[in-house]
Chains A and B, each alone.
Chain A
């Protein structure tokens, strides 16, 4: 019984340590002071500045746009890539392709970012939204491949035979059997790609030009001139937004869970 209590204490301690910095940040977003040394009276002022800061809001929207677009394209490319890798007959070639995919996953962002910078400048490609989008797609594809592959392996191959047997064309096999079976992997792959894109700093830092910037790069450059509590306010809003998203996702997967497991995968 005693052991039971200690394990709970430990659990809450870990959670507290994980969430403390975020709550600290949120706490000071309501402070009327200009720094995080002392809390000086409650205020909404930082939120007002934030909503009047057109540049930051525009960057927030652009970052979300970028994340949605890059994760969508990466999901399509990654899913098709996973199917292609799984269909490779020779095991040596298959292992090589998988290794190439995994190398991209483990290599440091700085190297990827630098290599993209070199590539784009060599090709004479102008840095901006397009270059950031391309590099985000590039580092998201391997994640999607890794999330979809297990579902592909799990899938019973006789399902495909069964669909062919009942008269399905190759396209119908893909859309009516393969895609539904892969959906959990595709959804979690897309969520992962979305979060990777949203919080990427290193790669983006290399390939953003003058005209375009993302939230992480913007906050970094602002923080160099001393933390403004406006950033705290922004972080608070993003945190609440993410909390809401996770809640919705949990509800959806809970409902699906009763009916089988159509979605799910990320939170279970």
Chain B
């Protein structure tokens, strides 16, 4: 069921800066969404428009089919977990979590029970009487979540909520956020600039840049089939080469022709080819390309190798085994590992093209 819809939303500030250009998003209930983009891409502006802190310059916002574009933030069934948590420093944990219910003058017994449940959901039982200043970053984060879910919102917005935590805690909270979302069964909209975070948690990701949505889809779709080189570069590491389409399922790059899985592109058209570094296998027999190792970094779970091929392109390769610097290595990849991108193709055009030849396959 569609719970939130952004219909041609545009935001232009007084100084002429256009933060959002014609955004159309449909959010379904009960799913985990991520708005992913670099800083200044407009992702937080979208969040603030949904929450009601910022008014769009044009366009409409619908909540469960009703137009709430002009509705006050305090009257929306949407709650927010802020980037810096925004916990009230003069109140303790209990009072912070109870804030939303106390405003509604609910009976004390009800408030006590609900606060207890909320604290249990975020695994902070027994912390009710602590002061905010006594809590660690991760605990403050949980209090902020408990405070936001106490009003039983239909949608929870999370603004870069994990960015202030250290790496281990962040990983832990990713799992927990996902678990909380599953448990409550409500929609989460998570704003982040961290692609790993978005890939790990989301049902669906919206990739934003320069106030427009570049691509939306499941984490796997976005990772495997980026629609343009911005998405390819922003999500994960990648080797992006310019190439030429020879015919359907055959593409030329790095001076050679390869079988690939893409079609529907005019033969002879200039394209960009994406190869993920972890899809490249170092092989001694039957290599598709040969190159010379320039440098190598050991990153714990894998080696990051940089190597230059005959055409002078610098490749990035992830390998579980190390190589020697200066060594000549052969590279192997499958046709499916090659992803061909047309220059300037939009997401709709890409989806339409995919339909044409993938449809043929299925028949």
Q: Residues on A close to B: CB < 8 A?
A: 156, 158-159, 161-169, 172, 176-177, 180-181, 183, 259-260, 262
State the 5 A-B residue pairs at the shortest beta-carbon distance, nearest first: A166-B100, A158-B86, A162-B86, A180-B90, A164-B73
| Interchain CB contact under 8 A, B103 and A172 | yes
Min CB distance, A268 to chain B, in Å? Answer: 16
From B74, B87, B133, B147, give the contact of A164 (CB < 8 A). B74
Knowing that A164-B72, A164-B74, A176-B103 are A-B contacts, what are 12 other residue pairs whose CB atoms are under 8 Å apart, sorted by A's residue number?
Answer: A156-B86, A162-B88, A162-B147, A165-B80, A165-B148, A166-B74, A166-B147, A167-B100, A176-B99, A259-B131, A260-B89, A260-B131
Inter-chain CA distance A163–B148, complex, in Å, is 10
**Residues of A close to B83: CB separation below 8 A:** 158
From B72, B82, B131, B132, give the contact of A162 (CB < 8 A). B82
Inter-chain CA distance A151–B29, complex, in Å, is 41
Judge whether B41 is part of the interface by a CB distance below 8 angstroms.
Answer: no
| Interchain CB contact under 8 A, A163 and B99 | yes
| Interchain CB contact under 8 A, A161 and B53 | yes
Judge whether B93 is part of the interface by a CB distance below 8 angstroms.
Answer: no
**Residues of B close to A181: CB separation below 8 A:** 89-90
Judge whether B151 is part of the interface by a CB distance below 8 angstroms.
Answer: yes
From A159, A164, A168, A177, give the contact of B53 (CB < 8 A). A164
What are 24 residue pairs bridging A and B, where the CB atoms are less than 8 Å apart in the complex? A156-B84, A158-B82, A158-B84, A161-B53, A161-B80, A161-B86, A162-B82, A162-B86, A162-B87, A163-B88, A164-B53, A165-B73, A165-B80, A165-B148, A166-B99, A166-B103, A167-B100, A167-B103, A168-B103, A172-B103, A180-B88, A181-B89, A181-B90, A262-B90
Min CB distance, B73 to chain A, in Å? Answer: 5
Judge whether B79 is part of the interface by a CB distance below 8 angstroms.
Answer: yes
Q: Which of A158, A162, A176, A177 has the most CB of B within 10 A?
A: A162
**Residues of A close to B99: CB separation below 8 A:** 163, 166, 176
Judge whether B51 is part of the interface by a CB distance below 8 angstroms.
Answer: yes
| A-facing residues in B62-94 (Cβ within 8 Å) | 72-75, 78-80, 82-84, 86-90
**Residues of B close to A159: CB separation below 8 A:** 86, 88
Judge whether B256 is part of the interface by a CB distance below 8 angstroms.
Answer: no
Instruction: Provide the B135-169 mask, 1 if CB < 8 A to any CB of A, else 0.
Output: 00000000000011001000000000000000000
Inter-chain CA distance A72–B90, complex, in Å, is 23
A167-B100, A177-B88, A260-B90 known; A162-B80 Cβ under 8 A: yes
**Residues of A close to B148: CB separation below 8 A:** 165-166
Inter-chain CA distance A150–B82, complex, in Å, is 23
From A156, A158, A168, A262, give the contact of B74 (CB < 8 A). A168
Inter-chain CA distance A181–B78, complex, in Å, is 25
Inter-chain CA distance A35–B82, complex, in Å, is 69
**Residues of A close to B132: CB separation below 8 A:** 260
Min CB distance, B33 to chain A, in Å? Answer: 18
**Residues of A close to B52: CB separation below 8 A:** 164-165
Min CB distance, A153 to chain B, in Å? Answer: 15
**Residues of B close to A259: CB separation below 8 A:** 131
A161-B73, A260-B133 known; A166-B90 Cβ under 8 A: no
Min CB distance, A116 to chain B, in Å? Answer: 39
Inter-chain CA distance A168–B87, complex, in Å, is 15
**Residues of A close to B86: CB separation below 8 A:** 156, 158-159, 161-162
Judge whether B104 is part of the interface by a CB distance below 8 angstroms.
Answer: yes
Min CB distance, B182 to chain A, in Å? Answer: 23
* Residue in A closest to B80 when the chains form the complex, CB atoms: A165
**Residues of A close to B73: CB separation below 8 A:** 161, 164-165
* Residue in A closest to B131 when the chains form the complex, CB atoms: A260
| Interchain CB contact under 8 A, A165 and B79 | yes
A156-B84, A158-B82, A158-B83 known; A165-B90 Cβ under 8 A: no
**Residues of A close to B53: CB separation below 8 A:** 161, 164-165
